[in-house]
Amino acid sequence: MNKAITKIISIIGLALAIAGLVHGTFEILQGNAPTGGLIIQAIGDAQQQWVYGTEEAFTILPTFLSAGILTNLISIMLGIWSFRYLSHKHGASIFLGLCILLFLVGGGIAQLVFFLPAWGIATRINKPIKRWEKLPEKMRRGLAPYWPVLVGIGLVSFLIGLFISITGSVPWVNSADPQVILNICWTFIFGGGWGFFALAVLSGFAADSLVKQQEEYYDTI
């Protein structure tokens, strides 16, 4: 098992679960009202805090209440699965299934950009990473130690972006322009979140390849 990669995808799964819970909670607050279509605004008028703070989502369910309840339940299942069962035989497939279900019931549209690459990487958790072993060892040793820091920065950046997307508040920026705030929000979610998660994956593969190399060395002794 590639342990570093498993932990990285677990943390990405946690980030998606948290985002899902945010969507689900706001959907529940809108009550048993009909959604009126497949594309919904998870945050209703009564809870909306700024012009772009609607948290757009897709749902096949008929009411906000049913969408919110199922979104929260699936988010909890995704969080548990990501941390406990991701390395199991069908761990990556069920991870993908939960993410797709979360998308279909109202967990948010933007999560597609995160869970599809995460699933692709998760399929390599229990497979050899021979291509990485072909890279110079010095390069891999340079990358390997940093995945915990990189994935930590990615998670914090993602959560900051999620907070900004809900509140429209950026404490250290003195701007009332919603477009500026939206740009900052996307920078944290995609530039910081997705970007650092991607760097963490590269570092994680380097770390796992070194562990595998060391195990093979000791097996030959």
DSSP secondary structure code for residue 193 in this structure: I
Check residue 218 and give its pLDDT: 43
pLDDT tens, per residue, the chain with 221 residues? 899 999 999 999 999 999 999 999 999 999 999 999 999 999 999 999 999 999 999 999 999 999 999 999 999 999 999 999 999 989 999 999 999 999 999 999 999 999 999 999 999 999 887 777 777 888 889 999 999 999 999 999 999 999 999 999 988 777 778 999 999 999 999 999 999 999 999 999 999 999 876 655 444 44
Instruction: Of 141, 105, 118, 128, give the one whose Cα is nearest residue 194.
Output: 118
Pairing of strands 56-58, 39-41: antiparallel
DSSP 156-192: HHHHHHHHHHHH---TT-----HHHHHHHHHIIIIII
Check residue 60 and give its pLDDT: 97
Domain ranges of the chain: 3-220
Beta bridge partners of 139: none
Check residue 213 and give its pLDDT: 67
Check residue 200 and give its pLDDT: 97
CA distance 180 to 189: 14
Compute how many other C-beta atoms are within 10 angstroms of the C-beta atom of residue 84: 11
Check residue 68 and give its pLDDT: 98
Answer for the pair 189, 130: CB distance below 8 angstroms, yes or no: no
Compute how many other C-beta atoms are within 10 angstroms of the C-beta atom of residue 120: 13
